[in-house]
Structure 1
């Protein structure tokens, strides 16, 4: 994942491609080309350039956590005992090894990290918290919030329209078929 800002402006076609692929990463190059009004070769070249330049980090399948028996979602605030580089590094390394943790963010404010965890049930969460989170040397305090209802959950990143600075839709408008 690149944290560098884009090195060049994306044009309308690049943005359309990003929106289309974000909505459905399984679209064929032929479908992409047809939708953005390009021939196959320039479409393939643009997608490869977007990948190479880091605008596309990868492709994945969005799995149904409930069907996989991981319906409990929890957010945990973690406060470390010292704000030193070695304590932060130790915590980051430990988090990478916990597969139940699906996101971890260092934050500014009253605590140091916010962790998003997906597990089967409360028993599994207690094991993860007790065995894998609070046992990390340097963790001083945790506070957990359990999700009662997921109102919105998406991986989509808003793609901005460059010429007017307006937010773009998740996918470009499709032309209506003529009758």
Structure 2
């Protein structure tokens, strides 16, 4: 059942079986429908229907391969807090479009509770790569007024919501 709690958010009631299914898919997305069904004590057809319902509701938004950034040559993770010169929809849209085109950017969020407007996470090969990214691409986006950099020492964990 889909219920509306605001103009921007639709919530879907998830039962424990849906949550089990999501947890399995988040850790092992290549698991077959038959194996998923066995793990959550359903037959294959109802399991496939549940997956389709979760996809149609926008809860499952895609299937991705998780990679080890260190092993593929991007060991340095950098958090960059960015302040914009003006707070207009056009300025933010332009920034978001440009920053999304950079392969090094793995996440981008608008944030509150600090003086900066955005917090992005980037993955780079080394400090020289970071310097090139910062000076020749990020700082050249129109409207970027200030950046503050923090380097990740170690990711303790990362997980999805369910």
What TM-score do the two structures reach when normalised by structure 2?
Answer: 0.89
Match in the other structure for 1:30: 34
Query: Of 50, 58, 70, which residue of structure 1 is paired with 2:54?
Result: 50
The runs of 4+ residues in structure 1 deviating greater than 6 Å are: none
The CA distance in 1 between the partners of 2:89 and 2:51, in whole Å, is 39
Query: Of 133, 136, 139, which residue of structure 1 is paired with 2:144?
Result: 139
Query: Of 132, 151, 159, which residue of structure 1 is paired with 2:156?
Result: 151
Q: CA deviation at 1:12?
A: 2.0
Cα displacement string for residues 110-139 of structure 1 (whole angstroms, at most 9, x for unaligned residues): 111111010000000011111111111111
Instruction: Count how many residue pairs are aligned between Structure 1 and Structure 2.
Output: 154
Q: CA deviation at 1:155?
A: 3.6
Residue 112 (structure 1) aligned with residue 125 (structure 2) = no
The CA distance in 2 between the partners of 1:33 and 1:148, in whole Å, is 40
Unaligned 5+ segments in structure 2 are 1-7
Unaligned 5+ segments in structure 1 are 160-179
Alignment of 1:119-138 (within 5 A): 119-138=124-143
Larger radius of gyration, structure 1 or 2?
1
What SS class does the counterpart of residue 123 from structure 2 fall into? strand
